[in-house]
Amino acid sequence: MINSILIANRGEIACRVIKTAKKMHIRTIAVYSAIDSESLHVKMADEAYLIGEAPVSESYLVADKIIEVALKAGAQAIHPGYGFLSENAGFASLCEKNNIKFIGPSVYAINSMGLKDAAKKLMEQANVPVVPGYIGDNQDVNHLAQQALEIGYPVMIKAVAGGGGKGMRRVDSEVGFLAALQAAKREASSAFGNDIVLIEKFIVNPRHIEIQVFGDQQGNCVYLFERDCSLQRRHQKVVEEAPAPQMPENVRKAMGEAAVRAACAVNYEGAGTVEFIVDGANGLREGGFWFMEMNTRLQVEHPITEAITGQDLVEWQIRVASGEPLPKTQQQLSIQGHAVEVRLYAEDAEHDFLPSIGTIDALFLDDDNGIRIDTGVEQGSVISPYYDPMIAKVIAFAPTRAQALAKLAQALRHSMIAGVKVNIAFLRDLLEDPDFKAGKFDTGFIEAFLKRATAENDLTHIAAQAACSLVAKELDVSLSDTDLPWSRHDNFDMALGDQGRVSSMIVLINGQQHKGRYLIKSGQVYPASKPGNALLVTQTESYLYITDQGKTYRIEEVVYDDGGKAAPVGQVLAPMPGNLFALMVSNGDEVVAGDTLAIVEAMKMEHSLIAEITGIVSNVEVSLGDQVSEGQLILTIE
């Protein structure tokens, strides 16, 4: 049995691997960048070593540094987690040359499945169904455009390297093909150093269903059933569940056996995932699924498979890497219950999921009733622009799907994070959506859901609670924990009579002005607004936070006049910190509302700045390549 493991990763996956390794009495070795010196995975490991500065190109992607630390620390094996070097054949080869066991598949398997074009050709030979499309070396723009036309729109442009939704664009007509192709190639080059793409037929009502496979060094291979990962934004998974809703047993068996054929085609060892695109228009059927790609690593969503099978997949990885046969045969594996996982991100779900960067001032994640929390952060942790902004995975398991969804929604309702914007309320709303609960969804569900949920929230009760909290602190009076004025039947309002006098102040909630009304009576302050559900009020050194139904609002300051914080009409501000990747205009240019003015890149994702009015560009404050901060003035349109 392996007795020492270096985890070549960070965040929640590093913490996840350390937990199982400790359970197996295996020594754990962490690596960290300068900005991660106080990170949770560093504190949890038996040993930890600095490997470079914050950028991944100077730390977590520097294979030689990681190998050097592994040799220095006497690590027998390296677990790569996911992302970073996990699917890097060169790194796996380097481990092999230094007699360090790479906990993952062989170099051959990684290479075979690493490029989507080569993998699809291999799958055709292994009798695994593949989506119709173009896979070829000819990357001439005109040639690719012609191939898309022959395949028939809509099509999907995909980078052949990497994953995570980067370098992918759906194109619905010939008119938008060129711009989408250029954007996909730029993004792929930035993320993977490889801008080669393939083109596939886009399935109109698709579901994304993947099969967990596992192989050992003795040639055995099994599938641990399926996960439905259809709820995505920007082609990145948001909600995952196992088993897939409405999955017939014959289709489950057909997909599982196809996934095993795919794994056997490359003599697969360890944990892997075979991803299928599934036609959900007419129900799941044996002839309605096609191979997309194989991820030659552990997946982010592996906890839901662990929940329904009762197996620890990280333990399986370690045992297989130690030369042991698979812990279970296919006949010994079965499904019990239903599991759902959500990815809790530091992002603004109401504004195109822009990443949110800053310090976590307060954190409470409800883990009652058997809720599983996989996280790599704690209160005081910093969400930086250098790494993926995922804060935690929250997982619920129950006998039925309905019970699991309700259990997870309840946990989110009772959780709060302050200091950065998070998607807790968005996730809760997804779980409680009637169509999703009924199993009526595909990969376009979130886009349609957002269009239905654009109504502005009424923040009257939040403003009232904020005003009460601020007044109570300033005047040193008690903040009532009851709704006494609302217990009467005389319609509590501005004419309170013997109840007292209502006052108001203007508060800024997440930067927007709202009037907060409050009542001071008998040494206590009450919110003069009909209460909603129970509100969680958190005071940190910097701000006051109020959480309602899982959504946290920051009370930035109190304003007693009519002055506003919104940018004047015509000012174009950076929506997030990042690199000014493209600047399409200069002073004096005429622009029309809807024109793209600039592109800001952060976390390897592009965000276009669009003109909201027609006019003349002036006051350009930035240059191409500049690092911009959130809210920084980019230019003005007069």
Residue 280 CB burial class (10 angstroms; 0-12, 13-18, ≥19):
buried
Question: Is the domain of 110 the same as that of 251?
Answer: yes
Provide the 10 A C-beta neighbour count for residue 264.
15
394: Cβ contacts below 8 Å, ≥ 6 apart: 341, 342, 344, 365, 371, 372, 373, 408, 411, 412, 415
What pLDDT, on the 0 to 100 scale, is given for residue 281? 81
Residue 218 scores a pLDDT above 50: yes
Mean pLDDT for 491-514 is: 62
Residue 289 scores a pLDDT above 90: yes
Averaged pLDDT score across all residues of the chain: 88
Question: Is the domain of 612 the same as that of 545?
Answer: no
User: Could you tell me the pLDDT band of residue 120, with boundaries at 50, 70 and 90?
Assistant: confident
Question: Is the domain of 36 the same as that of 68?
Answer: yes
Residue 488 scores a pLDDT above 70: no
Question: Is the domain of 549 the same as that of 576?
Answer: no
Name the catalytic one among 27, 297, 401, 413: 297
Question: Is the domain of 237 the same as that of 110?
Answer: yes
User: Could you tell me the pLDDT band of residue 562, with boundaries at 50, 70 and 90?
Assistant: very low
Q: Extract long-range pairs of 499-502: CB within 8 Å, 24+ residues apart.
A: 502/528
Query: Tokens 């920051």, residue?
Result: 554
Judge contact between 203 and 273, C-beta under 8 A.
no
Provide the 10 A C-beta neighbour count for residue 494.
9
Judge contact between 68 and 94, C-beta under 8 A.
no
Q: Is residue 222 part of a domain?
A: yes
Q: Is residue 507 part of a domain?
A: yes
Domain end (from 321, 336, 351): 336
326-335, 425-434, 498-507 — which is least confidently predicted?
498-507
159: Cβ contacts below 8 Å, ≥ 6 apart: 116, 166, 167, 168, 184, 185, 187, 188, 191, 192, 194, 195, 196, 197
Task: Please give the helix or strand (H or E) that residue 557 lies within, else none.
Answer: strand 551-559
Q: What's the token pair of residue 89? A: 């054949």
The domain that holds 437 is classified in CATH as 3.30.470.20
* Interatomic CA distance for residues 575 and 631, integer angstroms: 6
For 49-94, the pLDDT digits (tens) are: 999 999 999 999 999 999 999 999 999 999 999 989 999 999 999 9
Question: Is the domain of 512 the same as that of 541?
Answer: yes
| Nearest-10 Cα torsion for 630, 631, 636, 637 | 90
On whether the pTM is more than 0.95, the answer is no
Question: Is the domain of 127 the same as that of 255?
Answer: yes
364-373, 385-394, 607-616 — which is least confidently predicted?
607-616
| Residue 297 falls in the annotated catalytic set | yes
Q: Is residue 464 part of a domain?
A: yes
Residue 508 scores a pLDDT above 70: yes
Residue 490 CB burial class (10 angstroms; 0-12, 13-18, ≥19):
exposed
What pLDDT, on the 0 to 100 scale, is given for residue 607? 79
Residue 486 scores a pLDDT above 60: no
* Interatomic CA distance for residues 442 and 105, integer angstroms: 31
Residue 191 scores a pLDDT above 90: no
Domain end (from 149, 179, 201): 201
> How many distinct structural domains can be found in the chain?
6
Question: Is the domain of 112 the same as that of 243?
Answer: yes
Judge contact between 307 and 92, C-beta under 8 A.
no
Question: Is the domain of 477 the same as that of 541?
Answer: yes
Q: Is residue 566 part of a domain?
A: no
Q: What's the token pair of residue 530? A: 């009909």
Mean pLDDT for 454-475 is: 76
The domain that holds 527 is classified in CATH as 3.30.700
User: Could you tell me the pLDDT band of residue 492, with boundaries at 50, 70 and 90?
Assistant: very low
Domain range for residue 235?
105-131+206-336
Q: Is residue 564 part of a domain?
A: no
Mean pLDDT for 11-22 is: 98
Q: Is residue 32 part of a domain?
A: yes
Mean pLDDT for 416-427 is: 92
Question: Is the domain of 87 the same as that of 221?
Answer: no
Q: What's the token pair of residue 7? A: 């985890």
Q: Is residue 163 part of a domain?
A: yes
Residue 375 scores a pLDDT above 90: yes
Q: Is residue 565 part of a domain?
A: no
Question: Is the domain of 290 the same as that of 356?
Answer: no
For 221-270, the pLDDT digits (tens) are: 999 999 999 999 877 899 999 999 999 999 999 999 999 999 999 999 99
Question: Is the domain of 221 the same as that of 291?
Answer: yes
Domain end (from 310, 336, 362): 336
What pLDDT, on the 0 to 100 scale, is given for residue 481? 57
Residue 585 scores a pLDDT above 50: yes
Mean pLDDT for 33-53 is: 97
For 192-214, the pLDDT digits (tens) are: 888 999 998 888 789 999 999 99
| Nearest-10 Cα torsion for 82, 83, 89, 90 | -120
Mean pLDDT for 531-551 is: 79
The domain that holds 11 is classified in CATH as 3.40.50.20
The domain that holds 145 is classified in CATH as 3.30.1490.20
